[in-house]
Amino acid sequence: MKAFRAIIHTTLFTLLSVGCATILGIEDAELANDGAGGTSGGGTNGSGGSAGGAGAEASCEDYCDAVMENCTGERAMYSGLQNCLDLCGTLPVGDPGDPQGNTVACRLAEATAAGEDPEEHCPFAGLGGAKVCGENCPAFCGAMLEICPGKYPSNAACLDDCESLDDLGSFKLTDTEGDTVQCRIYHVNAATELTDPHCRHAAGEQLCVP
């Protein structure tokens, strides 16, 4: 009888041990899967972070550093770094993943490309955009309303005035006189440092006249 009980006891112990091992194996597998899922989730979040970085807002600092470095001399678009930063702040930011239109993103792309070919890309990297990064008049008027408030009663009034002017296409810092969009752009640039008389010139008084 004692031997029979010992056999039963041993058998039960073995079965319980096997059962526990099986349960522990299942739990370990679930934990491993959870860990793998966590890693996968982290990878997804990491990818999302990278995608977010690629689609992050274009930086005026990056744009102005690029345009000041790559567009110099007769191809300079701004008289100084602070001029660029001030005027950049009047532009829509845009998407670096789709750099087009009247945006900082488009100008940043052109200013960067100007490192390889300044003659081709610098004209598009300036405030006006020269019909690649938007049209000259919308960019000029956006700047006027912020840099020289009160010179035009509305954006529409500014656009009406600007669109009546001669448009030379691209801009040069030597465009300081004449009845042109480029003269207006020059003086709104200069107005970031000295509002008077440059805001008056940018609004069509004195220098920017036929």
| pLDDT tens readout for residues 106-139 | 999 999 999 999 999 999 999 999 999 999 999 9
Closest to 111 (Cα-Cα) out of 130, 132, 126: 126
pLDDT at 45 over 60: no
Name the 3-class secondary structure at 160.
helix
- The answer on pLDDT for 103 being more than 80 is yes
Tell me the C-alpha to C-alpha distance, in Å, between residue 177 and each of 54, 80, 91, 128, 180: 41, 20, 24, 17, 8
The answer to whether the CB of 61 falls within 8 A of the CB of 85 is yes
Are residues 96 and 105 in contact, defined by beta-carbon separation less than 8 angstroms? yes
- Domain boundaries defined on the chain: 1-54, 60-202
Give the pLDDT of residue 124.
96
pLDDT value at 21 more than 50: no
The percentage of the chain sitting over the pLDDT mark of 90, rounded to a whole number, equals 67
- Mean pLDDT over residues 179-184, rounded? 96
